[in-house]
Amino acid sequence: MSDIVKKQFDDVAPEYDRQRRQLIPCFDDFYGIAADLVNCSSDAPRILDLGAGTGLFSSFIRSKYPNASLTLIDLSEEMLKEAHSRFGQDPAVSYITADYTSYPYTEKYDAIISSLSIHHLTHPAKRALFQTIHGLLLDGGIFVNADQAAGTTVYWDDYYMSKWKEAIWQSGLDAKAIEASIERRKVDINATVQDQLDWLLEAGFEQNDCVYKNNLFAVFAALKS
């Protein structure tokens, strides 16, 4: 992940959570459906959050599985500082400041989650990451990715962008924050839903689907048989 992306998220870290609801028009469905898909056979699952940021997605999972062990990994130390503030001294939450695409993992997980992060990777890096994720999951484990997806054509990309801008300009967020968010979008590398499903299948996930989609926001789930 590029230094540009890291700096952008370092800069926005203190305001990130407050802005999320305003920058994601479908916030409740997006995170609600993603959290609902994280189903583990254990009541104390081991869960890895890739590009965890402030721990927002992990906080939904913590509410669902109070006994879960959470590992949050992110390139931005500033974002993880916000996650520390969120979870306090919770001994079942650990933090790794590193590039999750190249980190030498040593454990296996019941679930791997990610939100609004993987779209920053190049397409070859996405494909390689899906392979890594499959290898890190226990049998029966699930990968849930709440992310962005490209349209099938430039027409649809332009449509999604226009609808998103229309919504955020009406959200009540201040102009400076909106303009910074639009600037961050310039480094996105969105992949289509179909490409991502194909890459998940290629990685070994026979049970995978895009369970929810609202314009550019999409929630993917993939089960390791």
What's the average model confidence in pLDDT over 38-54? Answer: 96
What's the average model confidence in pLDDT over 128-152? Answer: 98
Question: pLDDT-based confidence at 15, cuts 50/70/90?
Answer: low
Quote the pLDDT of residue 170.
Answer: 94
Strands 217-223 and 46-50: unpaired
Q: Over the stretch 184-204, which tens digit does the pLDDT of each residue have? A: 899 899 999 999 999 999 999
Torsion sign, CA atoms 15, 17, 18, 19: positive
Residue 3 pLDDT > 80: no
Average pLDDT, rounded, for the chain: 92
Is the model's pTM score more than 0.95? no
Quote the pLDDT of residue 20.
Answer: 81
Q: Strand order in 46-50's β-sheet?
A: 93-97, 69-74, 46-50, 109-115, 137-148, 217-223, 207-214
* Count of structural domains within the chain: 1
What's the average model confidence in pLDDT over 87-108? Answer: 96
Please choose, from the candidates 105, 39, 28, 121, the residue with its C-alpha nearest in 3D space to the C-alpha of residue 73. Answer: 105
Quote the pLDDT of residue 2.
Answer: 52
Q: Alpha-carbon distance 40 to 141, whole Å?
A: 7
Residues spanned by the domain of 198 = 3-223
3-class state of residue 208 by DSSP = strand
Q: Alpha-carbon distance 22 to 28, whole Å?
A: 11
- Distance (Å) of CA 25 to CA 54, 150, 175: 19, 17, 16
What's the average model confidence in pLDDT over 8-32? Answer: 77
**Contact assessment for residue 56 and residue 17, using Cβ atoms and an 8 Å cutoff:** yes
CATH number of the domain residue 201 falls in:
3.40.50.150
Q: Alpha-carbon distance 45 to 219, whole Å?
A: 21
Q: Over the stretch 206-223, which tens digit does the pLDDT of each residue have? A: 999 999 999 999 999 999
Q: Alpha-carbon distance 217 to 159, whole Å?
A: 13
Instruction: Enter the tokens of residue 108.
Output: 């296996």
Question: pLDDT-based confidence at 19, cuts 50/70/90?
Answer: confident
* Residues 6+ positions from 122 with CB-CB distance below 8 Å: 189
